[in-house]
């Protein structure tokens, strides 16, 4: 399955409000700007975090909660459509006070202390749409 990206559209660069939910805020920005296909990246810090790990055998996400100050060392993800709406799928690497890294699938529950983001829209031949994948149990990009 492949979608041809013709060019980059708008590039949004900004700062998220302190106290906002990281995933929710990034999703709201994409939905408000009408971005259907794109790339997301961010750096900053959170006061608490929630990340997931997909148990492939059980086909469920397990979540880890961290109630501590953490640096966002890297957040990378993409934007596609899920149920007809822009959807952000991202993974995040976080660093603690001892310099140790932890991370996983970005979940709601990450409270922003400070965050600078970049969202690049792609002008593609068609939107990327997520749908149920029987083989993995995940909502993955669907081919046409």
Q: Which of 132, 107, 131, 127 is closest to 26 using CA atoms?
A: 107
What pLDDT, on the 0 to 100 scale, is given for residue 112?
98
pLDDT in tens, 128-138: 899 999 999 99
pLDDT in tens, 79-101: 999 999 999 999 999 999 999 99
For Cα atoms 11, 109, 137, give the angle at the middle one, nearest 5 degrees: 85
In the chain, helix, strand, coil percent, each to 5? 10, 65, 30
Query: Whose structure tokens read 């996400």?
Result: 61
Query: Whose structure tokens read 């980059």?
Result: 8
- Global pTM reads 0.93
More reliable by pLDDT, 143 or 29 = 29
Query: Exposed, middle or buried: residue 58 (CB in 10 Å: 0-12, 13-18, 19+)?
Result: exposed
Confidence of residue 6 (pLDDT cuts 50, 70, 90): confident
Break the chain into its structural domains and give their ranges. Answer: 5-135
CATH topology of domain 5-135: 60s Ribosomal Protein L30; Chain: A; (3.30.1330)
């Amino acid at each position: 399955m492949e979608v041809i990206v013709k060019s980059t559209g708008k590039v949004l660069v900004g700062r998220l409000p302190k106290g906002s939910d990281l995933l929710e805020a990034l999703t709201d920005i994409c939905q408000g700007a009408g971005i259907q296909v794109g790339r997301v990246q961010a750096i900053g810090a959170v006061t608490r975090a929630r990340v997931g790990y997909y148990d492939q055998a059980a086909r469920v996400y397990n979540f880890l909660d961290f109630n501590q100050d953490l640096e966002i060392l890297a957040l990378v993800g993409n934007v596609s459509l899920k149920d007809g709406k822009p959807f952000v799928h991202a993974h995040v690497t976080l660093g603690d006070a001892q310099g140790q890294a932890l991370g996983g699938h970005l979940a709601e529950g990450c409270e922003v202390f400070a965050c600078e983001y970049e969202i690049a829209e792609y002008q593609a031949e068609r939107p990327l749409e997520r749908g149920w994948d029987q083989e993995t149990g995940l909502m993955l990009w669907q081919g046409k």
